[in-house]
Chains A and B, each alone.
Chain A
Amino acid sequence: MSATTERHVGQPLRRKEDPRLITGKARYIDDIALPGTLWAAFVRSPEAHARIVSIDAGAARARPGVHAVYTGADMADIGGPLPLAWAPPGVQVNNPPHWPLARASVKHVGDPVAVVIGDDRYAVVDAAEDVVVEYDPLPVVTDPEQALAGAPFVHPELGTNQVHQWTLAGGELEAGFAEAEVTIERRVVNHRIAGAPIEPRGVLADYRAGTITLYSSTQVPHFVRLFVALLLGTSEEKVRVIAPEVGGGFGSKLQIYGEEIVACWASRRLGRPVKWVETRSENMAVTHQGRDQIATVRMGARRDGKITAYHVQIVADLGAYNMLLTPLIPSLGAFVMGGCYRIPAVRTDITGVFTNKCPTDAIRGAGRPEATHMIEVMMDQMARELGIDRLELRRRNFIPKEDFPAAVATGVVYDSGDYHASLDKLLEHVDLDAFRQEQARLREQGVHRGIGFSTYTEICGLAPSRITGPAGVGVGAGLWESALVRVHNTGAVTVYTGTSPHGQGLETAFAQIVADRLGVDPSVVEVIHGDTGTGPEGRGTYGSRSLANGGEAIVKATDKVVAKAAKIVAAELEAAPEDIVVRDGKFSVKGSPDKGMTLAEIAGVAYIGAVPEGMEPGLEETTFNDPENFVFPFGAHACIVDVDVATGKVDVVRYVAVDDCGNPVNPLLIAGQIHGGIAYGIGQALYEHVVYDDDGQLVTGSFVNYALPTAAELPSFELDHTVTPSPVNALGVKGVGEAGTIAATPAVTNAVVDALEPLGVHYINMPLTPMRVWRAIEEAQAR
């Protein structure tokens, strides 16, 4: 069997998913109706911290249509609290129990204290208002730095608000700072943001004849199955989790949520399906949030621009509880803390802190946007300090392309890269000299225009078990991915992936890959995902892993199918299996293209059973792919902003991105991911901010003041790319789902500073809201 001719990979195929999505035929949780379904509504704490004195559900139970009201005490039989599955390795992590329904106390606004189950949604929401909970308010802490200083404590039994301390260090830090001729320090804030998927969460649990089927809007159905089984004290094969159409997650659905457990438990208890669909208000208050890091960042450099040492000390506000990965998230950034630069000594110290706020966990980028923001803002700060051009400073420190695969101080090996090439390409689109002239001209007219850059790399494609598993950093999660490729009698193909796409378009990308290898059209390749009742065990979609890891699994399974098919063809056509090639929709004999069989004909042989002696009938194969390394996409972004200095309002007028995610499988899908990613990053930099007041009340509880950017706020993005294949997988691909987000915030921030330099604003922290920008200008002018 030799190389196939590629026809679909690399092409901008329209998404297979779109017809059902845009004609309203997709089935989300809310669309799924099972006969006899009961609805659930949660009674949630209006207090940020309180002891539960009493819960009186009498009036609620007496209402028509109400079947049950349960509290934490009723769920005493569950197998344990909600899981913290991946804690940072090697350190003590304070992990007080986090129950699906609160027991004894509540720790943040929205903490559930009871669930009402009844005939319809109106009945249970009405009844939930009748559940009388008496709270004894306790002191509240919302500022992580204050929380570290002492009482009040979120979990008084711990006597501290500190969750953990974890360090990742490589190289001689002290020596690096000693060698530095210039050292700068900044306080860099990556404020709290929300996942804000267009579809909030939802669950529908159906206990029937000893088996639980849970429909959940999740990114990780297999993990959910495992923990539902553990917490409900049942055996894993008795639980089937289905993620139907999922309307976005951005990490916020990489979680095991209390509502999933409560719905399963209540369905088993009542013998009826139980459904809950999150409201937007609930989503803003209780679906995990992200970022919220305050860092003290020191960078040392020689006068010639060589960076010699980099030290980041992070206070990470983890909110009220540890959830699935909560304390691990900042650590993900630590591995790429030095960005795309050759820095001999890099150290990250992370201190996790409890506060009376919603827990944080993975949100698009998860640790890497924070790290990238820090290093890219610091590069601009250092350039100014040294009097060296910002891009020149970057170039002097880039890891050169000859060095790849490149071991860096943080202990990981960057797979491939060519950072000069992406910056060069960016500058083909952005004429800097012309920009500077225009900028000067506009300033004379009172328009403050600025340009900012971000040259980034990140770590994704999560995998590999060698590192993520017990033998590596020891978080105990094998992050391989699975695939099953099944050719049917007619030559149609079904692919089962263990990833769980939720808007990315992976059904299309996977179909392209399989179609080329099997010589069929992508339209006859169906991709099944998000159902633990079909296909092999899987790990889900997050960490930009689905193509680099899940796609690679599909490649391997498909190649096994191809090898078997080639043997069948060889036997039928009396040729050697090595001489069979896939070309023009046929498996044919090398040198005689007219002699060949279609996949349908091969499948016919495989299923009639007339296979060569010693061969099993059938035509399907399974693989578990566990790559050797992560992948490290990279690129260079430029952002141009206008600042209305009278009001402080920032307007993004141009955004140019050059990204490198290895070999492109589908340029349309890549553009979609980059577009959304940049919007997410601009959103964080300029608009979005989860705000709690000092009493722990959520101020940004709706989209009225949690300001997601809309099309009106965003320019038309200009995209280009370089192609540096990853050596880690046969496809040569890297992840792209988070790259735009990771790159964007420093490009925007650096652009605003560039615009405001003449007014004396040399440094500013996100979010760059009009009032904050105006105030920064006022303060600079007053100096």
Chain B
Amino acid sequence: MITAEFEYERPGSVAEAVGALAAADGDAKLLAGGHSLIPLMKLRLAAPGRLIDISRVPGLSAIERDGERWRIGALCTHTQLSRAGVGLLSEVAATIADPQVRNRGTIGGSLAHGDPASDLPAALLALEGSIVAQGPGGERTIPAADFFSDYLETALGPAEMIREVLVPAADGYGFGYQKFNRRAEDWALVAVAAAIRVQDGTCADVRIALTNMGPTPLRAGAAEAALRGAPASAEAIRAAAGQAAEGTDPPADLDADAAYKRHLAAVLCERALRAAAGIA
């Protein structure tokens, strides 16, 4: 691996890491699991002058239930998350790449990278979770809906670091994540995350978010609206899922053009909703 030259430091705390980021004045990158950043550096698509390795900062790897929500440390790996019983997020984390990647990649890195093909962002968006970021000026909590601003861009400031992720426990919801890729280890061509709360046979609440259907993860508002208040039936789900891609303008990839992605969104949405509603 022949990257461009860089300096390296390993801060001992979040405060030190944020300080180092601020001092580097935009020419530094945090390094967590390295599984998004290092491939870019290897190809010289990224050449930060300084790496601030946060992978050993203590206290960032816990997953705790805190009342009605989960608090997930930024350094939690996908493997950890997949085994922690955090509902939809655990199901989603298990679909990421292969065991090596899951053992290294972190939730903080995944969210900060802002890749719309990544799996965790859509799940967090569907559950209306939020991101706790610390910067030189202190800490703030950013709702997922405001966090992903464009392709590989987030609301994080240049010297801000994700400390933890907050996810509503969503007790009483059923979940489904349908990821479509060519090979087991691939990124999603399209994926759909769904959560439904069924009350008396009716879909009392419906959350649907889409992976890789635009420059950021997206909520499928039309499909949600169509199903909210409708019976939790296969027919209603099918009708709603047909609107999954409404309002999206997905970019064409090598393996999926826009029309195919829109079709996939509908197919996967139906499958995800059925899983969430417990319809075989």
Chain A contacts to B: CB under 8 angstroms: 121-122, 125-126, 129, 279, 281, 646-647, 649, 687, 691, 699-700, 702, 704-705, 707, 709-710, 712-713, 769-771, 774-775
Contacts and interface: CB of A to CB of B under 8 A. Distances in A.
Contact of B256 (A129, A646, A710, A771): A771
Given A122-B5, A771-B256, A775-B260, A713 B184 contact: yes
A246 B276 CA distance: 50
Contact of B183 (A122, A647, A713, A771): A713
Contacts of B256: 770-771
B249 interface: no
A84 B263 CA distance: 48
Contacts of B255: 705, 769-771
B186 interface: yes
A769 B182 contact: yes
A687 B5 contact: no
A702 B255 CA distance: 14
Give the top 5 A-B pairs by smallest Cβ distance, nearest first.
A712-B184, A125-B2, A646-B267, A771-B260, A705-B254
Contacts of B187: 704
B79 to A, nearest CB: 17
B182 A770 contact: yes
A646 B274 CA distance: 15
A691 B267 contact: no
B162 interface: no
Nearest to B264: A647
Nearest to B190: A647
A700 B255 CA distance: 11
B221 to A, nearest CB: 23
A700 B260 contact: no
B15 interface: no
B269 to A, nearest CB: 12
Contacts of A129: 44
Nearest to A712: B184
A710 B183 contact: yes
Nearest to A713: B183
Contacts of A647: 180, 264, 267
Contacts of A122: 2, 5
Contacts of B189: 770
Contact of A707 (B2, B180, B186): B186
A281 B254 contact: no
B5 A126 contact: yes
B237 to A, nearest CB: 14
Nearest to A41: B2
B4 A126 contact: yes
A709 B183 contact: yes
Contacts of A649: 180, 182
Given A646-B267, A687-B182, 15 more contacts: A121-B2, A122-B5, A125-B2, A649-B180, A699-B254, A704-B186, A707-B186, A709-B183, A712-B183, A713-B184, A770-B182, A770-B256, A771-B256, A771-B257, A774-B263
Contacts of B260: 771, 774-775
Interface string B237-257: 000000000000000001111
A702 B180 CA distance: 20
Contacts of B185: 710, 712
Contacts, number: 51
Contacts of B43: 281, 702
A121 B44 CA distance: 14
22 contacts: A122-B2, A122-B5, A126-B4, A126-B5, A129-B44, A279-B2, A281-B43, A647-B264, A647-B267, A649-B182, A700-B254, A704-B186, A707-B182, A707-B186, A710-B184, A712-B183, A769-B182, A770-B255, A770-B256, A771-B256, A774-B260, A774-B263
Nearest to B185: A710
Chain B interface bracket (under 10, 10 to 19, 20 to 34, 35 or more): 20 to 34
Contacts of A125: 2
Q: Which of A646, A691, A709: most chain B CB closer than 10 A?
A: A646
A611 B115 CA distance: 78
A281 B263 CA distance: 33
Interface string B129-149: 000000000000000000000
Contacts of B254: 691, 699-700, 705
B163 to A, nearest CB: 30
B186 to A, nearest CB: 7
A691 B189 CA distance: 17
Contacts of B180: 647, 649, 770
B118 to A, nearest CB: 13
A707 B256 CA distance: 14
Contacts of B2: 121-122, 125, 279
Contacts of B44: 129
Nearest to A775: B260
A203 B276 CA distance: 56
Interface string B178-209: 00101111110100000000000000000000
A707 B264 contact: no
A391 to B, nearest CB: 31
A705 B256 CA distance: 12
B4, B254, B263: which has the most chain A beta carbons within 10 Å? B254
Nearest to B182: A707
B273 to A, nearest CB: 14
B123 to A, nearest CB: 21
Contacts of A702: 43
Contacts of A281: 43
A129 B45 CA distance: 12
Interface in B140-180: 180
Nearest to B2: A125
Nearest to A650: B182
A155 B4 CA distance: 36
B179 to A, nearest CB: 12
Nearest to A706: B254
A707 B5 contact: no
A325 B256 CA distance: 35
Nearest to A686: B182
A141 B180 CA distance: 34
Contacts of B257: 771
A570 B278 CA distance: 85
B119 to A, nearest CB: 16
A570 B270 CA distance: 84
Contacts of A705: 254-255
A687 B183 contact: yes
A117 to B, nearest CB: 15
A109 to B, nearest CB: 15
Contacts of A687: 182-183
Nearest to A122: B2
A647 B182 CA distance: 11
A115 to B, nearest CB: 15
A376 B254 CA distance: 29
A699 B256 CA distance: 14
A475 B43 CA distance: 41
A125 B41 CA distance: 13
A203 to B, nearest CB: 17
A34 to B, nearest CB: 20
A687 B184 CA distance: 12
A125 B5 CA distance: 11
Max count, chain B CB within 10 A of own CB: residue among A687, A702, A705, A771: A771
